[in-house]
Copies of this chain bind each other. A is one copy, B any other.
Amino acid sequence: MATKAQVLYDFTAEPGNNELSVREGETITITNQSIGGGWIEAQNSRGEIGLVPEDYVELNKPQPSSGGGSVPPLDLSFFDTHVPTPAPAPASNTQSQCNGNDPWAVFDNNASGGFSNNWAAQPEGTETGKNSSNAWGSTSYGHPQAYQGPGAEDDEWDDEWDERKSSGYTEGETGEGGAITRGGAHGSSMKIIGEVGPVWEYPDSQLDCVVADPKKGSKMYGLKSYIEYQVSPNTTNRPVNHRYKHFDWLYERLLEKFGSAIPIPSLPDKQVTGRFEEEFIKMRMERLQAWMTRMCRHPVVANSEVFQLFLNYKDEKDWKTGKRKAEKDETVGVMIFSTIEPEGLPDLELLEVEQKCEQFSRFTKAMDDGVKDLLTVGHEHWKRCTGPLPKEYQRIGKALQNLSSVFTSSGYEGEATLTDAMTAAGKTYEEIAQMVAEQPKKDLHFLMETNNEYKGLLGCFPDTIGVHKAAIEKVKEADKLVATNKITTTEKVTMGKRASTMSYALQAEMNHFHSNRIYDYNRVMQLYLEQQVKFYETIAEKLRHAHSQFTTM
């Protein structure tokens, strides 16, 4: 008997895994519901049959409002003071009506901590009151939360997608507790302080984590395999396990939430074929480590609830609760600016805002070009160092050894010293060939990785800067809007303040970027040169030894 089901989320099959790609909204026919392990077998309208995650499909269930992990399109409607903001409207919070047409119209200059609380508690002057739907906190906890029960398999393939078939609500148990533990200081990190120019407020101790110990796991009785990494934050030293898809989920959350203000670099590329090869796993782990380290270093990201959840979830239940909450977070996109407080900094003139924006745009463009140039050169150098160059040294080595063995065949007395020395010299060049071929992994690799990271980061800036430019244009139109009585002068001032806040956020972010850039390039250049010195010294040493074996005349 054929059961029809509706696809809730896009799912892309991994080749060779008997899976079936499906699209959100598609209707499929379930051909086997008892596969187990979170999978069902289904047939699409084209007659193709394959495995689909059980939780991706549902009979008669309406499509979810916040499906995949894609960034919401940049919504500048919050700048339109006359239209109620449609996009980040909380689905289940009746307070949203109180929000009026301005979700984060003014800034709370109160310097005391707990920004999001103050935000909700202290409406200022003539502005409409802000409500808590814009700060994370209680609103999300009102959503149904999954409870898998104690029998849930710890490492079941798709258990992170199980929340929608939850059988009950356990609101009191989860939520607040976990969130408070993790996100205790998450509000204060959004402050910008200005003693040495606008900078994010940095924590006293730097968060970091170690991504290590990749382990192959399998699901569905070996039908499906995956790699799980241990992530240990320096705060707890307690490892949590995460698969690449969890990192990807985190990335999507961070991008959605912070992408307008903070460049969130992409994760290392997804790769389907060869993903269990040792070399690939090592490389992916290294890149996940670099990505996590960069995220840890960012005070806003590191302190965010979703990031803390990722690093510190106590157990499966905690993880799922936090996941669901993060997915319901409505302080995303440009809304993030409403949570930013430029502490003790005066409002900026539009001209200043514009100049800063242009300056950062020029810089990031120039650096992007510079980084790409270095990557191109580095890539060619890599190819040469691992291809023709060692081949040539090897041929020199072989030619010398060959000549040496011809010499040995001469039958002439007393040339053993020469032939031995020539053979040794030849072998030395073969060793050099190998050194040359292996060297890029020891130095150029890190230079390339760092520049690749920066290429990724810099690639995020055009979007971030685009948000700012659009805001600036809005403010520029304000005079005209005032003249035509479309907005009040007060509203115009408010818009200017918003742009000022955004500019401070951008400046803080650029300063964060610059200090990290200086640190990273200083470190990687030192590493590169250090390894290069060692490389050339070792070659010189080897050749000196080869030289010493010839008779001095």
Contacts and interface: CB of A to CB of B under 8 A. Distances in A.
Nearest to A384: B392
Nearest to A385: B392
Interface of A: 196, 359, 362-363, 366-367, 369-371, 373-374, 377-378, 380-381, 384, 388-389, 392, 395-396, 399-400, 402-403, 406-407, 409-415, 418, 421-422, 425, 510-511, 514-515, 517-519, 521-523, 525-526, 529-530, 532-533, 536-537, 539-540, 543-544, 546-547, 550-553
Given A196-B413, A366-B409, A414-B518, 10 more contacts: A362-B409, A363-B406, A370-B399, A373-B399, A374-B400, A418-B518, A421-B525, A530-B547, A533-B547, A540-B540
Contact of A415 (B396, B518, B551): B518
B553 A543 contact: no
A433 to B, nearest CB: 12
4 A-B pairs closest in CB distance: A529-B547, A536-B540, A412-B514, A370-B403
Contacts of A366: 406, 409
Nearest to A444: B396
B525 A533 contact: no
Contacts of A511: 412
A529 B392 CA distance: 17
A553 B522 contact: yes
A54 to B, nearest CB: 50
How many copies are assembled?
A: 2
Contacts of A374: 396, 399-400, 402-403
Contacts of A544: 529, 533
Nearest to A394: B377
A410 B536 contact: no
B521 A402 contact: no
A384 B395 CA distance: 14
Given A412-B518, A518-B415, A543-B532, A553 B403 contact: no
A187 to B, nearest CB: 28
A546 B518 contact: no
A551 B533 contact: no
Contacts of A377: 392, 395-396, 399
